[in-house]
Amino acid sequence: MHVLASILGFILAIGLLVAVHEWGHFWVARRLGVKVLRFSIGFGRPLKTWRRGETEYVIASLPLGGYVKMLDGREGPVEPDEVHRAFDRQSVGKRAAIVAAGPVANLVFAVIAYALMYMLGITGLAPILDAPAAGTPAAQAGLRGEAEVLAVNGHPVRTFDALRIAVLDAATGGQPIQLRVREQGGERMVELPGASYGLLKGTEDPLARLGLRPWEPRGNIIVRQVEEGAAAALAGLRVNDVVTGVGGMPVSRASELVEVIRQHPGERVELDILRDGQSLRVSMILGMRRFNSEMVGYAGAAFSVDISDETWARLRVVERLGVLEAVQAGLSRTWDMSVLTLRFMGKMLTGQASLETISGPLGIADVAGKSLVLGLSNFLAFLALVSLSLAILNLLPVPVLDGGHLLFYLIEALLGRPLSNEAQMFAQRIGMSLLLALMALALFNDLTRLFF
């Protein structure tokens, strides 16, 4: 089921975002008088082709990109009466506007998607903290379980997702992390050394390294899903079984159970369960999977804690805004995520952030499927983030990307003439090599995360 959702989510997301990007180029080119010969979504063999006016529209078989083909004297002869409509005969400013329109369209789409998300309402976890692990900065600061974060560096936060973004923003900006928290004794300020803690190195969750984890109430651990053919299924574990202990020790938190499983790859683990009011013991030999360069145990089952309606109401936050407020929030979220993305890229270039966080098509498909299953608001949030990432990536000053072309036009404007064809072709080869290396790294990370 998840595989089908991933495929569908990936095709929907990439197809839509590529269409938005190419439409930006197309719309501005048409408005500036440039003749557009073809508008293609995807590459390879055409699946559907139609013509409207002077433009051919194509949906192709490989949905990993697209292009807008314009009349251009560098690609073939141009009729004398249409020379003024050729892309290469336009001023530097017009060419730059056409090239920049693709990334700008992705940025505008991100604002719209975030605004729609807020209008529909997005459900998240309240920023209530679990008891921090010993030795973490949060533990050293004296934070206790069920402390609620009200603000980060003076900015109010309503959800754990907002807390995460604010903490990462402070960490990438080299700032200390100041939390205003509400505890049983009242409110107080807590400062954590995020900038000096190397939060972005490695693949471990940066917030977990600080000791900031979402509150997990105790209760009955229910088996929600069992993967066919995995260790749990082979041992006879069933959906709706209640796990009361592991290895003879009582458990009341799903994270505690999962951690025991992770620590015993390939070993036998015994679970105490309740099934239809009867106590049973299930013995399973765990499978193994690679996670963050180490082998961990794998049961092939999903667990969650059965909590009361009152506790669930305390944990659950729904953000729903009116139209004007949603647009403002969409603009703010797009700006915050853009700054965070650029800072993170800078940290990766200087070796202060792990390259293992880069995702490729498989990773995108995996998240697309999960967000699609969770509902429209979550899928919109995913679309907005990917659209924003596409805009920033395309604006990088790397030849073959839109930002590389903009760099060429800037040099042309400064010199009063374009770079020679030889210089441009050399730069294009370097840019293509960098892009292929990035794609190879992203695909390697995907395969490592998903299959090893």
- What secondary structure letter does DSSP report for 307? -
Residues belonging to the active site: 22
- How many C-beta atoms surround the C-beta of residue 76 within 10 A? 7
Give the CA angle between residues 210, 216, 221 to the nearest 5°.
Answer: 135
Q: Tell me the C-alpha distance between 407 and 96, whole Å.
A: 9
**Range list of β-strands (E), 136-176:** 148-152, 155-156
Please compute Rg for the chain using Cα positions. Answer: 26
Q: Tell me the C-alpha distance between 165 and 173, whole Å.
A: 12
* Identity of the residue numbered 253: R
> Of 291, 351, 318, 398, whose CA–CA distance to 120 is shortest?
318
* Identity of the residue numbered 189: M
Q: Could you tell me how many residues make up the chain?
A: 452
Give the CA angle between residues 158, 160, 166 to the nearest 5°.
Answer: 80
- What secondary structure letter does DSSP report for 157? -
> Of 31, 333, 277, 39, whose CA–CA distance to 162 is shortest?
333
Q: Tell me the C-alpha distance between 96 and 418, whole Å.
A: 13
Q: Tell me the C-alpha distance between 51 and 139, whole Å.
A: 65
Q: Tell me the C-alpha distance between 191 and 293, whole Å.
A: 32
**What are 19's two structure tokens?**
């269409």
Residue 27's H or E segment, with its range, is: helix 2-31
